[in-house]
Amino acid sequence: MTNDEIRAFIENAINENHVMLFMKGTPNQPACGFSARASGCLNALGVRYAALDILPDPRIREELSGVSGWPTIPQLFVDGKLVGGSDIVLEMFESGELAGLLGVEQPEAPQVEEEQPQKRPIGLENRLG
């Protein structure tokens, strides 16, 4: 593929998918923590989205940045518009703004019960003799 063909493919992917995530790796096997965080937010919202791994060809990242004007990966697009990268997606997820943008309900935050450490007697074991 030529760079122009790659750019055209990226532009089509952005325009043809309501929610498009460009990431390192795949949603099932993210190749970096930032991509894992972005796909995790979308997964937690239960939305259908398209994802493209930018790692197979360095020109994908180069052309994507040319299209979006955004230098880092991941990049989330909704309705053809750049939403942002991992930090922005996470912020929007936590505030409920991402759910609103995608037209879904914000999941309730799981109630995490902190386990109390078990109290055990202090003991020493003599392994010298």
Yes or no: say if 64 and 10 are a contact pair by the CB < 8 Å rule: yes
Angle at 20 between CA 17 and CA 24, to 5 degrees: 145
How confident is residue 107, by pLDDT bands cut at 50, 70 and 90?
confident
Residue 23, pLDDT above cutoff 50: yes
Domains annotated for the chain, with CATH where assigned, are 3-102 (3.40.30.10)
pLDDT of residue 111: 45
What is the pLDDT averaged over residues 9-22? 97
pLDDT given at position 120: 54
Taking 90 as the threshold, does the pLDDT of residue 32 lie above it? yes
Q: How many CB atoms lie within 10 A of CB 65?
A: 16
- Cβ proximity of 43 and 90 under 8 Å: no
Q: What is the pLDDT of residue 1?
A: 87
Sign of the C-alpha dihedral computed for residues 20, 25, 30 and 36 taken in this order: negative
Closest to 41 measured CA to CA, from 84, 98, 3: 98
Checking if the pLDDT of 114 tops 50, the result is: no
Token pair in block for residue 25: 């790796």
pLDDT computed for residue 127 by the predictor: 55
Between 8-12, 54-58, 114-118, 123-127, the lowest mean confidence (pLDDT) is in 114-118
In this structure, are residues 78 and 127 in contact, taking their beta carbons and an 8 Å threshold? no
Per-residue model confidence as pLDDT tens digits over 48-97: 999 999 999 999 999 999 999 999 999 999 999 999 999 999 999 999 99
What average pLDDT does the structure give for the chain? Answer: 88
Contacts of residue 7, defined as CB under 8 A and 6 or more positions apart, other chains included, come to 63, 66, 67
